[in-house]
Chains A and B, each alone.
Chain A
Amino acid sequence: AQTVTQSQPEMSVQEAETVTLSCTYDTSENNYYLFWYKQPPSRQMILVIRQEAYKQQNATENRFSVNFQKAAKSFSLKISDSQLGDTAMYFCAFMKHGDGNEKLTFGTGTRLTIIP
């Protein structure tokens, strides 16, 4: 079974600063996908960014980028030029590839607060 660990329950940074959220996972699989989801106070889960394990290049979506270290089983999220709207819970998630099962395994989340 896969596990996802987010070791930072809470973080806070000043607006416009850069912040990095950590995520590690444990799996015996070689092919898989990794995701970061954002859950603002409105409660809806929103996909932020995703990474395919076979790709060495780190995924980037505007101000959001990841540092994917496959050997270390690490998948951190970097938010540059943070904005007040980035305040939310952030969840790291794992999906195994190849057996048709789309099951997502989530970490426990990091509550990020952007301070004006």
Chain B
Amino acid sequence: DAGVIQSPRHEVTEMGQEVTLRCKLISGHNSLFWYRQTMMRGLELLIYFNNNVPIDDSGMPEDRFSAKMPNASFSTLKIQPSEPRDSAVYFCASSLGQAYQPQHFGDGTRLSIL
């Protein structure tokens, strides 16, 4: 079975540009998580959805960040406008949506804002 699929794997862009990160959940999973990993702050949960509904967005840094689930198997994380401090590895994970179920992570997108 295919795991969580993220695209692109790497993204380099100039500050001020719009960035869109994409994630495809594992089939049958109904919880979706977006994480950001940096050296300074480690792994932080940005937002998570259950059955397409945002449950906890307390980690979204500011209005420049937005996340959507246009359908049950796909999500986007958008940054507009991007800033150099947004440079990080962004992970998407999915789970079966029940407590104790493991979260399955994608390979991450390494984002560099110049």
Residue positions of A touching B, CB distance < 8 A: 33, 35, 42-47, 50, 52, 91, 95, 97-98, 100-109
A98 to B100: give the CA distance in the assembly, Å: 10
18 A-B contact pairs sorted by A residue (CB < 8 Å): A35-B102, A44-B105, A44-B107, A45-B91, A47-B102, A95-B99, A95-B100, A97-B100, A98-B99, A102-B31, A102-B95, A102-B99, A103-B45, A103-B56, A105-B45, A106-B42, A106-B43, A109-B42
Q: Which 3 A-B pairs have the closest CB atoms?
A: A45-B105, A106-B43, A47-B102
Known: A47-B103, A103-B48. 6 other contacts (CB 8 A): A33-B100, A42-B107, A44-B108, A50-B102, A102-B99, A104-B33
Contact indicator A52/B100 (Cβ below 8 Å)? yes
* B12 part of interface (Cβ distance < 8 Å): no
Number of interface residues, chain B, beta carbon within 8 A = 24
> Given A44-B107, A102-B50, A109-B42, A97–B93 Cβ distance below 8 Å?
no
A105 / chain B contacts, CB cutoff of 8 Å: 45
Q: What's the nearest-Cβ distance from chain A to residue B104, in Å?
A: 8
Q: What's the nearest-Cβ distance from chain B to residue A7, in Å?
A: 14
- Of the residues A46, A52, A91, A95, contact of B43 by C-beta under 8 Å: A91
> Given A33-B100, A45-B93, A97-B99, A102–B48 Cβ distance below 8 Å?
yes
> Given A91-B43, A102-B50, A102-B95, A43–B108 Cβ distance below 8 Å?
yes
Contact indicator A102/B102 (Cβ below 8 Å)? no
In chain B, what residue has the closest Cβ to A45? Answer: B105
In chain B, what residue has the closest Cβ to A4? Answer: B42
B103 / chain A contacts, CB cutoff of 8 Å: 45, 47, 102, 104
